[in-house]
Amino acid sequence: MVKNRSLVEEGTDINLQFEKRDGLLPVAVQDSSTGEILMIASVNREAFDHTLETGEPAFWSTSRNELWIKGLTSGNTIRLDDVLVDCDQDALVYRVTLEGEGVCHTKNKNGVHRTSCFYRKLNREGNQLEFKDE
Amino acid sequence: MVKNRSLVEEGTDINLQFEKRDGLLPVAVQDSSTGEILMIASVNREAFDHTLETGEPAFWSTSRNELWIKGLTSGNTIRLDDVLVDCDQDALVYRVTLEGEGVCHTKNKNGVHRTSCFYRKLNREGNQLEFKDE
């Protein structure tokens, strides 16, 4: 529920607008040292509370419908440095440090997890994807 | 519809998974020169097609339920430099250059639109927000 708009935008109270977004807010995960965006995921209140309580960056897996702790199965963990909150309090940025191979579940040609899920970009014509660094 | 997973992840065809996400994909808007994340918004197929056709970064306003061209009313436009697509093709990054005041609809104490919507971060205790640069 949006409370007083000015409080949401200019206040210091945490008042994340989960209800406005069907319980799920987008979170961009950004490498603190390079500024690279590593992935975009979702958090619900449970994932956010887990993140606050443990310092582990937690997400909500919309495909598996369960709490998702990055690196729990792959070992490629990320350390949480900062949590940024936007004006409307309905989007987040986790600034993180990589503690293993990259965050992506895909692997590059050397068999290493890609650093970022955003390894492709639109070509100049806007009709195909191209690989950024491979 | 998810087609062949390997084609989605390793292919060069644009195959954005709008259907998987009820028609709306998250897009992180990032300053090309500084790496700062400016905002996180949504795009539907119409907004994405508009972006491709015109080169104007377009979004879908979920509150007004209409196409949203950044800066159309405020004059604070952004120039699109690159569009990055993630592994699952269900999230985007627009890399942009600011062409006016900042992208946020809120203003700082000097009456200038804030550069980024992410002007607050969680404090160390995780129980309050603090302003980053004000």
B92-98 and A92-98 beta bridge pairing: unpaired
B39/A91 CB distance under 8 A: yes
Q: Which residues of A touch B122 (CB under 8 A)?
A: 14, 52, 82-85
Closest Cα in chain A, distance from residue B4 (Å): 15
Residue B25 pairs in a beta bridge with: B43
> Between residues B2 and B46, which one has the greater pLDDT?
B46
Collapse the DSSP code of B116 into the 3-class scheme (helix H, G, I; strand E, B; otherwise coil) and give the result: coil
Q: Which residues of B touch A14 (CB under 8 A)?
A: 122, 127-129
**Most confident region among A5-9, A29-33, A69-73 by mean pLDDT:** A29-33
- The mean pLDDT value for A84-111 works out to 95
The per-residue pLDDT for range B106-122, each reduced to its tens digit, is 999 899 999 999 999 99
Tokens matching residue B43 = 């795009």
**Topology of B5-9+17-101 in CATH?**
Ubiquitin-like (UB roll) (3.10.20)
- The mean pLDDT value for B32-39 works out to 97
Specify the CATH class of A16-131 in words: alpha beta
Closest Cα in chain A, distance from residue B126 (Å): 6
Q: Which residue carries 């000015």 as its tokens?
A: A6
Compute the CA torsion angle A98, A104, A108, A113 (nearest 10 deg): 50
DSSP type of residue B113: B
- The mean pLDDT value for A126-130 works out to 95
- The mean pLDDT value for B52-67 works out to 93
B25-31 and A66-69 beta bridge pairing: unpaired
Q: Which residues of A touch B13 (CB under 8 A)?
A: 128-129
How many beta-carbon pairs below 8 A join chains A and B?
117
The CA-atom distances, in angstroms, between B61 and each of A21, A69, B26, B42 are: 13, 30, 12, 7
pLDDT band at residue A113 using 50, 70 and 90 as cut-offs:
very high
Q: Which residues of A touch B14 (CB under 8 A)?
A: 122, 127-129
Closest Cα in chain A, distance from residue B9 (Å): 8
Q: What is the mean pLDDT of chain A?
A: 93
